[in-house]
Amino acid sequence: MRNTLLATLLAATAFSSAASAEGMKIGVSWASFQEERWKIDEAAMVAAIEAAGNTYVSADAQSSSEKQLSDIDALIAQGVNALIINAWDKDAIGPAIEKAAAEGIPVVGYDRLIEDDRTFYLTFDNVGVGRIIAENVFAAVPAGNYAIIKGDPGDPNAGFLLQGMMGVIQGAVDSGAIKIVGESFSDGWKPENAQKNMEQILTANGNAVDAVMSQNDGMAGGVVAALSAQGLVIPVGGQDGDLAAINRVARGTQTVSVWKDARQLGKAAGEIASALAGGAALDSIEGASKFSGGEKGIEMNAILLAPTPLTAANLNVAIDAGHISKEQACEGAIAGVVGCE
C-alpha cells in the first residue's frame, strides 16, 4: 500500500510539473515587420510555441524604441512567462530588460544582440554572414571601387556584418587594390534609404563603382534600383534569402544572398523561450555556448546558427528546401543558374 501511494504521489507530481511547463504565454516584441523575412520567422516561432502547449502573443514596435518599451510593458501586464525581443535599438531596450528581470521573466534576444547576461542571445553568425557576402563579391571583383551599404546604426548587426566584410577585403584595401568610395548607414534598414545612399555614392563618383556590399537583401533591392537607373549591372551582395533577392541572383543582378533560414531561427526561439518559461536555466539550453563579441564584451549564453550562401551555382538549395518555388526563383533567369535549367 505504501509503495502504491508513493507511486501515485510521484505520478501526480510529475503530471503537475509537466502541466506547469505548458499552457504558458510567450510574448514576442518585433522591432518592425517591414522585412519580408519576419513573417517566415513568426510562422515557425508560433508553430514551436504551440507545439509546446503554449500561447503566442505579440506586438509590432513599428520602428519605434518608445513603442517597443510600451509594447513590452503591455506584454508583461498580460502575464507572459517569457519574452522574445527583436530589439529596435540595442541601447534603448535596457529598461525593458530591467523590468522583465524584476518580474522574473526570462528573455531571448532574437536576431539582434541585447548585450545583457540576463538574456539568451539567438541569431545567425552575423560576422560569418558579412564574411560570406564579401567573399562572393571579392571573388567577382578582386580590385576596384567598392561601396558598402550598411544597416541601421542602432542595430549591432550592422557592426558585426561590417566586421566580417572587412575581414575579407582589408588586405586589398590596405594594398590599394580596393578603394572604398562610399560607405553609408541606412536608417531602419529601409530599401528606399539604401537606394538614396547608393544614388549619392554614384553621383559623387561619376558612376565609377565596381561592386557593392549591401548588408541585407531589402537594401540590395534599393541598390540594384539605383544601379539600374544608370544602366549599371555590377556585383552586389546581400543577405536574408528574400524571394526577390533570390530571383535577382537568377537574373544576374545580385551576386549572392546569404540565406539565414528564418524557419530554423523561429523554431529555435519558440523552443528556447518555452523551455525558459518552464524554468530552464540559460546555460542549460541544448547547443548553447558562450558569446562575448559585443561592444561591452559581456559573456552571454548564445546559439549562433550557420548561414547558407545562395549564388547562381547553388540556387537549387533554396528551391529543394521549399523556401521558394522554381517559378519564383527562375523567372527571367540567365543561362547557367543551377536549379533553373
Q: Based on the domain organization, do 150 and 185 belong to the same domain? A: yes
N-terminal to C-terminal alpha carbon distance within the chain: 73
Does the structure show a pLDDT above 50 at 5? Answer: no
The count of structural domains within the chain is 2
Is residue 196 domain-resident?
A: yes
Does the structure show a pLDDT above 70 at 19? Answer: no
**pLDDT tens per residue across span 279-326:** 999 999 999 999 999 999 999 999 999 999 999 999 999 999 999 999
Does the structure show a pLDDT above 70 at 8? Answer: no
pTM: 0.82
DSSP code of residue 333: P
- Give the Cα separation of 38 and 60 in Å (integer): 11
Average pLDDT for the chain: 93
The amino acid at 53: G
- Give the Cα separation of 284 and 98 in Å (integer): 22
The amino acid at 26: I
Q: Based on the domain organization, do 134 and 108 belong to the same domain? A: no
Number of residues in the chain: 341
Q: Based on the domain organization, do 213 and 268 belong to the same domain? A: no
Question: Which residues, 6+ apart, have CB-to-CB distance to 59 below 8 Å?
Answer: 27, 28, 29, 30, 71, 72, 74, 75
Write the CATH number for 172: 3.40.50.2300
Q: Please tell me the predicted confidence (pLDDT) of residue 22.
A: 60
- SS3 assignment for 196-208: HHHHHHHHHCCCC
Whole domain around residue 137: which residue ranges?
Answer: 126-239
Main-chain dihedrals φ then ψ at residue 213, nearest 5 degrees: -105, 110
Taking residues 71-80, report their average pLDDT. 98
**pLDDT tens per residue across span 158-179:** 999 999 999 999 999 999 999 9
Please count the other Cβ atoms lying within 10 Å of the Cβ belonging to residue 2. Answer: 6
Residue 208: pLDDT band (50, 70, 90) is very high
Taking residues 215-236, report their average pLDDT. 98
Q: Based on the domain organization, do 99 and 136 belong to the same domain? A: no
Q: Based on the domain organization, do 231 and 266 belong to the same domain? A: no
DSSP code of residue 189: G
- Report the half-sphere exposure of 38 (CA within 13 A, side-chain side): 19
What is the Cα gyration radius of the chain?
22
What is the separation of C-alpha 134 from the centre of its chain, rounded to a whole number of angstroms?
17
Q: Based on the domain organization, do 141 and 176 belong to the same domain? A: yes
